[in-house]
Amino acid sequence: MTAPVRELPELWVEVAPPRGIVAGPLLERLAALRGVAGLNLTDNAMGRVRMSALAFAALVRNRIGLPVMLNFTCRDRNLLALRSDLIGAAALGVEAVVALAGDRLPAGTGVRGVYEVDAAGLLRAIGALNRGDAGQGYAPLRTPLGLLAGAACNPNRADWRRELELLERKAAAGARFLITQPVFDPGPALRILEGARRLALPVFLGILPIKSAAMARYLRERIRELQPAAAHLERYESLSDAQARRWSLARCRELMQTLAPHAAGFVIMSGGGPALAIELALDCARRSLPAGVPL
């Protein structure tokens, strides 16, 4: 069965679900994005416990009606649970899902990752569900899912050949689009765009507004994937919080303007909270970004 052509918004805002059961305040803030963007919901990012992304997706769809791109990590669930949640996502009308390995778990939690499959294995499982195949030993699904599956990539990786190998593997496993780790300069972004173009994969570039020197320092020192971007992050050291916000927003706008002709769209990441990401998304809307990207 061929997956239907779907149109995704060009602009997404990455948001982490709430840390507890109270979702109302966050939903009220996100309601400002109606008609402007979709939401990319993280799945216990950084190995920190939050509300189920699937449950929060249901609240988003029911209360504010925003499009949802839902992350799925291989770290926290076995393949049976992943399949079950993917069926649930399709039932909720989730627009797209992203297959991820999952961030490393914090030390001292006593929790171990599952990793029954990797991201490529999860993409193959999504493809099977889209054909109505629930897996070996299970009866076929009554209705194929038709989920639009994507994968992640890291433009900042120093070993570019290794990243390209991973891209090729994910494309072969069934990825239909890519979202990237944060990009801070055009060079790494254009490199990943060229590699993805050869694989006919649309790319949504990650854009991360920085709210303070402390946040930039944390990213530089604690997030291994962003260490190649250390020179950019060090520029925040002498800035006050207000200066950091202004400079970061200006830089993000400039970067998005430069890269817009080459990318399928952008995922604006929340980092230390959604306020700056929402502000940037609303600013982009005032600049009249295109309505959507057919995939």
Task: Report residue 179 as tokens.
Answer: 């979202």
In a domain, 149, yes or no: yes
SS3 label, residue 39: strand
Query: Which parts of the chain register pLDDT below 70?
Result: 1-7, 288-295
SS percent in the chain: helix, strand, coil, step 5 = 45, 15, 40
Q: How many CB atoms lie within 10 A of CB 223?
A: 16
In a domain, 230, yes or no: no
Looking at the structure of the chain, the number of domains it has is: 1
Radius of gyration of the chain (CA): 18
Q: Which residues of 42-62 are buried (b: 16+ CB within 10 A; e: fewer)?
A: bbbbebeebbebbebbbbbbe
Q: Compute CA distances 252 → 70, 93, 183, 238, whole Å.
A: 24, 31, 9, 19
The phi and psi torsions of 87 (rounded to 5 degrees) equal -60, -40
CA distance 97 to 124: 13
In a domain, 221, yes or no: no
CB within 8 Å of 232: residues ≥ 6 apart? 184, 185
In a domain, 236, yes or no: no
| Run of H or E residues at 285 | helix 275-286
pLDDT of residue 289: 52
Give the helix ranges, DSSP H, for 200-240.
213-222, 230-234
In a domain, 243, yes or no: no
Residues of the domain holding 149: 7-209+249-294
In a domain, 238, yes or no: no
In a domain, 172, yes or no: yes
pLDDT of residue 295: 61
DSSP 231: H
pLDDT of residue 291: 47
CATH number at residue 145: 3.20.20.220
Angle (CA) 256 260 264, round 5°:
120
Which of 162, 150, 164, 165 is closest to 193 using CA atoms?
A: 164
pLDDT of residue 292: 52
pLDDT of residue 2: 45
8 Å CB contact between 53 and 95: no
In a domain, 68, yes or no: yes
pLDDT of residue 158: 85
User: To 10 degrees, the CA torsion angle through 59, 64, 65, 69?
Assistant: -60
Which of 162, 159, 166, 185 is closest to 252 using CA atoms?
A: 185
